[in-house]
Amino acid sequence: MKKYLYGVDLGGTTVKFGLFSFEGNIIENFEIKTNTSDEGIAILPDIAKAILENMEKNNIIQNEVNGIGIGVPGPVSSGVVNRCVNLGWGIVDVKNDLEKLTGINVSVSNDANVAGLGELWQGGGLGYSNLVFFTLGTGVGGAVVVDNKVIDGHAGAGGELGHAPLMDVPYLCNCGKTGCLETVASATGVVRVAKDYLTHTDEPSVLRILEHISAKDVFDAAKANDAIGLKTVEYFGKYLGYICAVVAQTNDPEAFVFGGGVSKAGQIILEVVEKYFNQYAFYALRGKTQFKLATLGNDAGIFGSAYLAKQL
């Protein structure tokens, strides 16, 4: 009988694991270091070893494990990862290799996709089967979930909403394009926009006295009615809300869920994004689409990968 799931969140420095009951209760967390030397050749064997040791410790036999789900920091198509710069990987057939090493079925997806799936299963998206998730961190990641399945896409770019293009945004993105959503909606982006306002206006702002400005400083300033803080939050909300509207005309999800460091600003994010969403979206969607904060934090990855394992 299938009683257990393993969820694996593979990052550039740490691999996080969760042992879950088939129903979705977390039984145990553990982690190992990510060994990126020699083009990351030891990573999958290390993961297999950690899982097999955990099974032995808990007297779990192979037949009792429904599967291993794993989120990786790169584009995934049919279980194969195409370049993970953070891991030193080129093309790696994660599904096949990890199945051979463990004898257990494996399901693989991109880390942002997996986090979105975790939020749908047991986080801010609980109760929905169709949602779009944004991780608003140093960059912006995304996940598109339709009927409880994450959309990887044919080139592994499904949910890559950080690189959704914006026509009249002038900022250059790390990807080489100008005007990607993450140039204005990431933590870095919010700071960039605020600094631009500070440079190009004379308006007084509490932000002017800070040596280093963080995204949190900008949102705190906005909450205190600081003019530059408010302008920056409006700019952020306008473009994020706009992209949500285009995405809604595409998939019409039940909800948009926001996680990552920037989302810690809380309700202010939801309010400004929904305001602009309602301005740009089709009348049939206004007021119907939900806007929610993520709740799982750094555990979203192991939850989502465990859910991948459940779906096997």
- Binding residues vs a copy of itself (CB under 8 A): 75, 130, 132, 142, 144, 146-147, 149, 151-161, 163-168, 175-177, 242-243, 245-254, 280-285, 288-289
Residue environment code for 218-244, b if the CB has 16+ CB neighbours within 10 A, otherwise e: bbbbbeeebbbbbbbbebbbbbbbbbb
Token couple for 211: 């040596």
Instruction: Confirm if 98 and 125 have CB atoms less than 8 A apart.
Output: no
- Sign of the dihedral defined by the CA atoms of residues 119, 124, 127, 133, in that order: negative
Q: Compare residues 70 and 245 and give the one whose CB is closer to a copy of itself.
A: 245
In the block, tokens 């996680």 appear at: 259
Closest approach, Cβ 291 to a copy of itself, in A, equals: 14
Query: Residue 134 in contact with residue 161, Cβ under 8 Å?
Result: yes
Query: In whole angstroms, how close is the CB of 287 to a copy of itself at the nearest point?
Result: 10
3-state helix/strand/coil string of 87-120: HCEEEEEHHHHHHHHHCCCEEEEEHHHHHHHHHH
Q: Which CB atom, from 129 or from 298, has the smaller least distance to a copy of itself?
A: 129
**Dihedral sign (CA 85, 91, 93, 95):** positive
Q: How far is the CB of 42 from a copy of itself (least distance, A)?
A: 27
Please say which residue, 51 or 120, places its beta carbon nearer to a copy of itself.
Answer: 120
- Least distance to a copy of itself, CB of residue 180, Å: 8
For the chain, the C-alpha Rg in angstroms (whole number) is 20
The nearest distance, CB 114 to a copy of itself, in angstroms, is 16
Cβ proximity to a copy of itself, 157 vs 210, nearer residue: 157
Identify which of residues 44 and 140 has a Cβ nearer to a copy of itself in the complex.
Answer: 140
CB of 128 to a copy of itself, least distance (A): 9
Residue 164 or 294 having the CB closest to a copy of itself: 164
Q: What is d(CA 269, CA 292) in angstroms, rounded to the nearest whole number?
A: 9
